[in-house]
């Protein structure tokens, strides 16, 4: 009989452990976003959107008086993007990878120029500028499906492929691509790409303009629309730069934290908090009476007011704390408030386990 009881106890322990593991895997992650200006002053009322691609909004809210907002998100693999907008500031973008517990992202918004000296622009020049320029907001607000950078050109700004002068001046179509200030070598390495060749057949072109090279189209197809900050095109009449390869060229600026090479295309190189172990020192909170994790407890840096909440597994990351020693306050309705000293340094990496006592 005792053997049967032991086996049942072992099975029960296995089931509980499995259930705990499942809860840990499905527990929501906490994303804390803090927005400041260039002088480190918090900005309230900033519209914050967490994006999975160009149009899929994972979460959206606004910053509080401390320039902060905390999101609870289901864990997702791959890179996400934060887009921060407020009138009077230039749009801010940041790519990151969502951690299992708490991820802290800081964004600095630059103030927009309030006034400029009056510049007279002809209607023809204005039309040319609109045809030769596109930015992240135009891309995000388009109702057309944009699978890659080539779609941005063909569906939103076809004049950047063949130029407004291409029907009048021969050989005025796009011949060069610059990405983040670097001229991309255009070679016939992809001349046999059947996908690009079939897409080129569908492109409308002026009668006097030859087809855009397959190599240029392939390069544009390697740029992801959600990675583009802006694109400017300079046609065969451009005389303002005077650099080799600046005419008949598209100049693509990528968002912060995004890079490009011909083997990978565009890719995210900046993904949230650096993976330094001691900067992500963990806290675990447990109920003194039953030993269960305490979720939803607020962990606050007393000196700055920055705070995070523990997840359903009772854990939180101290990544929001500066290096050195900090006084931290832990509060949760129904429990006694406690204060602890936390040290963040290469020598302090052991997770902290704290037990909370319920109010009588």
For the stretch 239-254, pLDDT in tens is: 555 555 567 888 999 9
CB-based burial label for 254 (10 Å; 0-12, 13-18, 19+)? buried
In terms of CATH architecture, what is 1-119?
Answer: Sandwich (2.60)
Q: Is 212 helix (H, G, I), strand (E, B) or coil?
A: coil
**Per-residue model confidence (pLDDT) at position 192:** 57
**Per-residue model confidence (pLDDT) at position 9:** 47
273 close to 280: Cβ distance less than 8 angstroms: yes
| DSSP string for residues in 172-210 | -S--EEEETTEEPPP-GGGTT-HHHHHHHHT----TTSP
Give, in degrees to the nearest 5, the angle at Cα 60 between 59 and 66.
120
140 close to 55: Cβ distance less than 8 angstroms: yes
**Per-residue model confidence (pLDDT) at position 274:** 44
1-119 with 275-360: one CATH topology?
yes
**Per-residue model confidence (pLDDT) at position 14:** 45
* Helix ranges, the chain (H): 2-26, 123-131, 136-141, 149-151, 159-162, 194-201, 214-221
**Per-residue model confidence (pLDDT) at position 238:** 63
Parallel, antiparallel or unpaired: strands 315-317 and 282-287: antiparallel
Q: Is 286 helix (H, G, I), strand (E, B) or coil?
A: strand
**Per-residue model confidence (pLDDT) at position 15:** 44
**Per-residue model confidence (pLDDT) at position 62:** 94
Q: Is 265 helix (H, G, I), strand (E, B) or coil?
A: strand
d(CA 80, CA 126): 35
Give, in degrees to the nearest 5, the angle at Cα 148 between 142 and 150.
90
Q: Is 103 helix (H, G, I), strand (E, B) or coil?
A: strand
Which residues of the chain carry a pLDDT beneath 70? 1-27, 113-129, 164-171, 187-192, 204-209, 238-246, 270-280
CA 54 to chain centroid, in Å, comes to 11
Radius of gyration of the chain (CA): 27
Q: Going by CATH, does the domain composed of 275-360 fall within 2.60.40.1120?
A: yes
**Per-residue model confidence (pLDDT) at position 334:** 92
d(CA 256, CA 272): 12
**Per-residue model confidence (pLDDT) at position 206:** 66
* Alpha-carbon torsion angle 141, 122, 131, 264, nearest 10: -90
123-175: pLDDT as tens digits: 555 556 678 889 999 999 998 899 999 999 989 988 888 776 655 566 677 88
222 close to 261: Cβ distance less than 8 angstroms: no
Domain ranges of the chain: 1-119, 123-267, 275-360
> Would you state the structure tokens that stand for residue 91, as one six-digit string?
């749009």
User: Is the model's pTM score more than 0.85?
Assistant: no
Q: Looking up tokens 């004049």, which residue turns up?
A: 159
Report the b/e string of 16-28 with b at 16+ CB within 10 A: eeeeeeeeeeebe
């Amino acid at each position: 009989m005792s053997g049967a009881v032991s086996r049942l106890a072992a099975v029960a322990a296995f089931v509980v452990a499995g259930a705990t593991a499942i809860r840990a895997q499905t527990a929501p992650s906490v994303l804390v976003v803090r927005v400041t200006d260039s002088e480190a002053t918090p900005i309230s009322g900033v519209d914050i959107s967490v994006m999975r691609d160009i149009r899929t909004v994972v979460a959206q809210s606004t910053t509080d008086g401390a320039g902060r907002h905390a999101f609870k998100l289901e864990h997702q693999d791959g890179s996400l993007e934060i887009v921060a907008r407020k009138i009077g500031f230039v749009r801010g973008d940041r790519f990151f990878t969502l951690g299992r517990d708490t991820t802290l992202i800081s964004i600095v918004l630059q103030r927009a120029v309030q006034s400029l000296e009056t510049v007279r622009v002809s209607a023809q020049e204005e039309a040319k500028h609109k045809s030769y320029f596109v930015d992240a907001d135009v891309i995000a607000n388009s109702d057309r499906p944009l699978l890659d950078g080539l779609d941005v050109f063909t569906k939103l700004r076809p004049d950047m492929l063949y130029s407004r002068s291409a029907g009048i001046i021969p050989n005025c179509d796009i011949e060069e691509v610059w990405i983040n200030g670097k001229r991309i070598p255009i070679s016939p390495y992809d001349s046999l790409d059947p996908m690009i060749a079939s897409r080129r057949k569908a492109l409308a072109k002026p009668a006097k303009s030859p087809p855009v090279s397959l190599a240029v189209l392939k390069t544009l197809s390697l740029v992801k629309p959600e990675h583009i900050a802006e694109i400017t095109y300079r046609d065969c009449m451009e005389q303002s730069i005077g650099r080799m390869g600046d005419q008949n060229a598209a100049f693509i600026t990528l968002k912060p934290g995004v890079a490009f090479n011909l083997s990978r295309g565009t890719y995210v190189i900046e993904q949230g908090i650096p993976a330094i172990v001691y900067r992500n020192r963990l806290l675990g909170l447990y109920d003194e009476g039953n030993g269960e994790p305490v979720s939803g407890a607020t962990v606050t840096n007393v000196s700055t007011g920055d705070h995070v909440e523990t997840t359903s597994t009772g854990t939180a990351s101290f990544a929001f704390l500066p290096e050195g020693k900090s006084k931290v306050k832990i509060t949760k309705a129904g429990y006694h408030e406690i204060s602890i000293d936390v040290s963040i340094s290469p020598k302090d990496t052991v997770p902290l386990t704290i037990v909370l006592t319920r109010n009588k």
